[in-house]
Structure 1
């Protein structure tokens, strides 16, 4: 029987094997640190910075529209023809990702000419005859950014204002043209409707832009107002609009927020919630009434602004409305590449 030979013990390769394993562990730990710690912090800061930059770009777009309206007004006042110009505002849609570790954050820039409907309604006397007026506008531009590390937010241009909306709230960040002034115990109201024409969209993380051309301005002035002044709207951002109207009107009528504490029925602030969303919002004062009601079929709020009028000067606290100025601007819009839907 052949005798088995004992295998000679040799530990000379153990050190190199253990060293390789340790090096791999250090490398994997470093990669894990990058993926789980560095990349989320970097992307969150980048997405937050991008939202701030996008808001600034929408502010620039609003300024461009306002300047075009001003130029048209000056031409009209001077009695000369207004020559329309085309303005371009760049908008960065999203955030570039970190190669290998994470993909880009994309955004969707959309122009919707049938959304964001607003109307101003009143009845005034012309040559002794009661005449109803209804001025309206539609259109909104939305940058919806699908942030994964920062809050999911949207920046919106609607009826001359710039709004910021996210899951837990919305606010008016750049005010539209709306003013109420008290002169000798009478009210004067001024508002601008901005109608946007042209649909289009673009998605990605690159820098695209918005082409805009003001094609006309119409300004009307109404005196001898017989009715209350109503401003109605249908918009997903109704809470922000009601907050803006309340802030503007409260400043005009010198209403302090403290009067709403235990002030019903004269002063009432009544919100109701469905989950985290405000379902209805009602603000009542002797001077005005504001409401916002969420409508599921529309996926939007119906808002109503009622500014009370006392043409006979017989109701306590309520003032007569002596002048209402309504300006209507008509703007053609194209997103990214110039479209053929409207003239740009």
Structure 2
């Protein structure tokens, strides 16, 4: 009887030790996955979601570019488009099912353009035509990947990350030499977004509705200017400065004929013609912008 009791006790102790060891291994595996692998998976998933947001915002810009072109040819016809934005994502089924979120805002940032052209003592300026143009922005709320902000302003799509900004897609702006390179043509179609400032935070899909509301022109009767100064009021001046420099260089403009300077709130682009040969053509397309029109 004593021998049987001892054997029974050893079996019980062995089973208990095995259970403890299995539990320890399980805890170690779970800890390893949570500490080492899930952060990497979540970082990759959040980065992938940022790519989705870029595609959505790029699609929005493309839609507005197309509608603005149509609005200029058929100003009496009103067209509208609704653009969905994927606000959240980066969930990992079974391991980490919660989603990240984002904030979508209409008319949050200040953006405007001022153009001044001079020739033979005559000065023309754009006055208030290109001021208060409106913006659309998306700001992420990531847990692992660095937070990013996409801003649509004046027809350009800008990526802001920490204190840096980069123009991912350029506006409808062109600088080129014309008339056998004797003249410089500056053409710009500006997108004007009007509507109440509104913001929404979500991890689902939200929608922005845009409706064309006419066009306007900066009509200067084909005047040739000796120089032009363009001042852009923006929170992302460095990205605009880089874009304008690239635009002038690609047009073959001599470095001595233009300059670009900027600070935290504005960028100034100065262009000088050789003999009063700068043509300026500016149009503006109006859009009514509404966030979640049906809500």
Shift, 1:131, TM fit: 4.3
Q: Which runs of 5+ in 1 are unaligned?
A: 1-7, 77-81, 256-284, 295-300, 314-319, 340-344
- The answer for the alignment partner of 1:86 in structure 2 is 80
SS at match of 1:12: helix
On the 8 A contact 1:161/1:174 being kept in 2, the answer is: yes
Q: CA deviation at 1:148?
A: 2.3
1:204 equivalent in structure 2: 202
Structure 2 match to 1:29 = 28
| CA 1:251–1:65: 2 relative to 1, 3 Å | same
Counterparts of 1:175 and 1:143, CA distance in 2: 18
Give the alignment of 1:1-344 within 5 angstroms: 10-76=9-75, 82-98=76-92, 101=96, 103-112=98-107, 115-123=110-118, 131-134=124-127, 135-137=129-131, 138-167=133-162, 169-183=164-178, 184=180, 185-198=182-195, 199-222=197-220, 223-226=222-225, 228-253=227-252, 285-294=255-264, 301-310=265-274, 313=275, 320-338=276-294
Distance 1:338 1:118 in 2: 32
Deviations 1:49-105 (A, max 9, x none): 1111111111111111111111112225xxxxx221221011011215346746421
Task: Write the distance in 2 (CA, Å) between the matches of 1:110 and 1:85.
Answer: 22
User: Structure 1 residues 22, 337: CA separation in 2 closer, same or farther (over 3 Å shift)?
Assistant: farther
d(CA) in 1 for partners of 2:109, 2:119? 29
- Distance (whole Å) between structure 2 residues aligned to residue 291 and residue 338 of structure 1: 43
Structure 1 residues 142, 291: closer, same or farther in 2, change over 3 A? same
Question: TM (normalized to structure 1)?
Answer: 0.75
**Number of aligned residue pairs:** 282
Cα shift readout 1:23-53 (whole Å, capped 9, x = no counterpart): 1112112211221233212211211111111
The answer to which structure has the higher helix fraction is: 2
Shift of residue 15, structure 1, vs aligned partner: 0.7
The separation in 2 between residues aligned to 1:12 and 1:104, in whole angstroms, is 47
TM-score, normalised relative to structure 2: 0.87
C-alpha separation in 1, matches of 2:202 and 2:54 = 17
* RMSD of Structure 2 on Structure 1 (CA): 2.4
Structure 2 unaligned residues grouped into runs of 5+: none
CA contact (8 A) 2:194 2:289 kept: yes
